[in-house]
Each structure stands twice: as structure tokens, then as C-alpha cells.
Chain A
Amino acid sequence: MAVRRKPKAKILVPLAAMGDIAFLLLIFFMVASNFKQAEAKLEPASSATIEETERPQVIVNVDEEGKVWVQGVETTVGALAYSLEQLIDTRTEVPKFHLMIHKELEKKDFHPVIEAFAEAGVYPILTGQRAEP
């Protein structure tokens, strides 16, 4: 008596579609990643009383050489107040300014920056590292 073999079902996996999905996810993560600005070298100061804040809308950095960077563009301390006022004027509402200053800077380097914010009428969010209390 002949034994009939059950024909094996051929399962074809569409490998080309998996590659498309993988590349799409890859592109998503590459675009969603935030890369640190290479120009500004600064180490943030630490404080135990700071807390997590929302994402910044305008970033102002003062690096280890005392250079001021507004949204990645180098500017001078003298022009900082004007730059801040321009940023406020071009937007419908006052943006959140994040100010990060290199921790080793002395008063002569960081105090004029804070004064420029005060002159522009901007209350910055001084960003840094959270320290253990």
C-alpha cells in the first residue's frame, strides 16, 4: 500500500521587507539622536537643588575659553543682550533659555553673561549637573 506523504507547505519569508523595516528604524534613530555641539567644550557645574527641566528652546553656552555660543553660533558678550532680544522679538512667545557655563570660569568671564541676560529681561534656566545632596 503506497503511503501518501503530506506535501510540505513552502513557507517563504519576505526577507526584502524585513530589510526595509530595519532601515526605516535605523533612519529614525539616526534622525532622533541629539549630537553634542563639537565647538563648545564645557564642563557643567553641579548643584543639589536643580531638577530636570524641559527641552530647551534656545541654548546659550559659555565654554572653557569664555566664548559665548547662542544656538551654536559664536557671539560676543557685548552683543549677547541684543541677540537675546532679537530671539524674543522673532517668536510669538518668550522661549525658554538654557544657559550653561563652564564650571572653571572666573567672575570676569561669567558675570557679564548673566548681566546680559538681566539687561535683556530674560530669566535663564541655569543648567548643570545634579549633585548628590
Chain B
Amino acid sequence: MGRLTKRVKPDGDIDVGAFSDVAFLLLIFFILTTTFLQYSGKEVVIPATSKPENKKQQSDKMPSVNMFDGKITYSEDGDNLQDVSYEELQKKLMDLGMHAAEEDQEKMVVLEYDAKVKYSEVYPVITLIADAGGIIVYQEDAE
């Protein structure tokens, strides 16, 4: 008589230990590769020049910043433009005390630049004026 052998029932259990390992590996991957966006900027006040109420506030005796031929020139009253560096412009704009001014007209700064200027050159000047508390007034360059 043959020996009776027990039939081994197949085990239906799934080893879930490996799943958690995979999940943690993916988790670590996303933690390391996720970059949180940081936003840096400056709010700029630029009134619409086409509106009549804004045009009335503009006068000829406003500080003026010009950017032509790669140079920055500045004038406190619209005349006597002087070549300035970025740091000198920052000091002159801060000295105007626009943060303490109550009237918008006292905060207005005329900004002009030629067609060849790139945004990377204009951006620091715009944010500089905004940082000094200025309101930017655009005047088109006569091309």
C-alpha cells in the first residue's frame, strides 16, 4: 500500500511587506524632487495715461528717469539730466521721500526708455521706483 502524501494546499497570502517598501521609496523620491515655488516681485503702480484724470495730475516738474543707449539718466525736475549708476539712482529716489508723500502727484516718476532696451534692463529700474514708493508714469519715446 502506497504511503499517503498530504497534498499541499497552495498558500493564497500575498506578501504586503514589499508594497510598503515600494511606497516609501516613491515617497522619498517625491519628497526629494519636489520644489516649492517661491514668488518674488514688487507691486508697481502705473496709472493709465489715456485717462483724463491721470493726465491732469502730471506736470513738467516731475522726477524723470531715462534709459537710452544703455545709460541711465536722472533728473529731479525734468531738466538737467545726469548720468547715474543704479546705486546712485536708488539713493536719489529714496531721498525724494515718496513713501511719506500724501498726494499722488508727489509720487509720480516719469520713466522713458528706447526701443532697443530689454526687459532685463528695465525691470530693476521699475522695481527700484516702486520700492521708493513712486508711481510710474510712461511717456512714449518719439521713435
Write the residues of chain A forming the contact surface with B, with a CB cutoff of 8 angstroms: 15-16, 18-19, 22-23, 25-26, 29-30, 32-34, 36, 45-56, 98, 101-108, 110-111, 114-115, 117-119, 121, 123-131
The residues of A that contact B39 with a CB separation of less than 8 Å are 52-56, 98, 125, 127
Contact (Cβ within 8 A) B126 A19: no
Contact (A15, B16) CB under 8 Å given A22-B27, A50-B42, A126-B44: yes
The residues of A that contact B27 with a CB separation of less than 8 Å are 22, 25-26, 29
Q: How far is the CB of B130 from chain A (nearest CB, A)?
A: 8
Contact (Cβ within 8 A) A129 B118: no
**Dominant secondary structure of chain A at its interface with chain B:** mixed
The number of chain B residues with a CB under 8 A from chain A is: 44
How far apart sit A49 and B127, CA to CA, in the bound complex (Å)?
A: 6
Name the contact of B46 in the complex, choosing from A15, A104, A117 (C-beta under 8 A): A117
The residues of B that contact A121 with a CB separation of less than 8 Å are 48
Query: Can you list 11 A-B pairs with a CB-CB distance of less than 8 A?
Result: A19-B19, A29-B27, A47-B124, A49-B131, A53-B40, A106-B118, A108-B115, A118-B49, A125-B43, A127-B40, A128-B127
